[in-house]
């Protein structure tokens, strides 16, 4: 299967690479990338354990890096790709950044923002299920290791 360089699947595969870095570091395997004009401007993975910071989610780190890249707190022309449905904190951050699109892989039934309604900016487009099985499998692998 060939992927278009500018497809949602392509960018989600880049987010999956970040999630694998998190898995290697024994962090919850969530990865994120921010795309502007078909170019990845920020990449991040969960680092809450390494940084000892409960806010060091992949999305938060990627949004901060993207804002630094563009020199503006608003990311109205950007798309955030994240392997797992964002939590309330990360959805709120994307709201304040006015991200144009949020694309995620697998749903997060327990802690995902959608349990609480739509917390995204009214102009934000939401796309879900992109490579969802692969994204969810990393989470399952991580928690299976923890239970051993």
> Which residues participate in the annotated binding site for Zn(2+)?
57, 87, 90
- 3-class SS of residue 131: coil
DSSP H stretches of helix in the chain:
8-24, 48-51, 58-70, 88-97, 132-147
- 24, 37, 59, 85: the catalytic one is 59
Q: Is 59 a catalytic residue?
A: yes
Quote the CA–CA distance of 84 and 107 in Å, as a whole number.
Answer: 6
28 contacts 139 by C-beta, under 8 angstroms: yes
Q: Which residues are annotated as a binding site?
A: 57, 87, 90
* CB-count exposure of residue 79 (10 Å: 0-12, 13-18, 19+): buried
Q: How far is C-alpha 28 from the geometric centre of its chain's CA atoms?
A: 12
Residues catalogued as catalytic: 59
């Amino acid at each position: 299967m060939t992927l278009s360089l500018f497809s949602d699947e392509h960018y989600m595969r880049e987010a999956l690479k970040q999630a694998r870095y998190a898995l290697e570091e024994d962090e919850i395997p969530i990865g994120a990338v921010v795309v502007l004009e078909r170019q990845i401007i920020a990449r991040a993975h969960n680092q809450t354990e390494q940084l000892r910071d409960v806010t060091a989610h992949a999305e938060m780190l990627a949004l901060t890096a993207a804002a630094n890249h563009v020199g503006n707190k608003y990311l109205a022309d950007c798309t955030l790709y994240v392997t797992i449905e964002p939590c309330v904190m990360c959805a709120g951050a994307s709201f304040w950044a006015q991200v144009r699109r949020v694309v995620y892989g697998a749903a997060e039934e327990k802690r995902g923002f959608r349990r609480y309604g739509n917390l995204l900016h009214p102009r934000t487009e939401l796309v879900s299920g992109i490579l969802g099985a692969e994204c969810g499998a990393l989470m399952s692998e991580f928690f299976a290791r923890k239970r051993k």
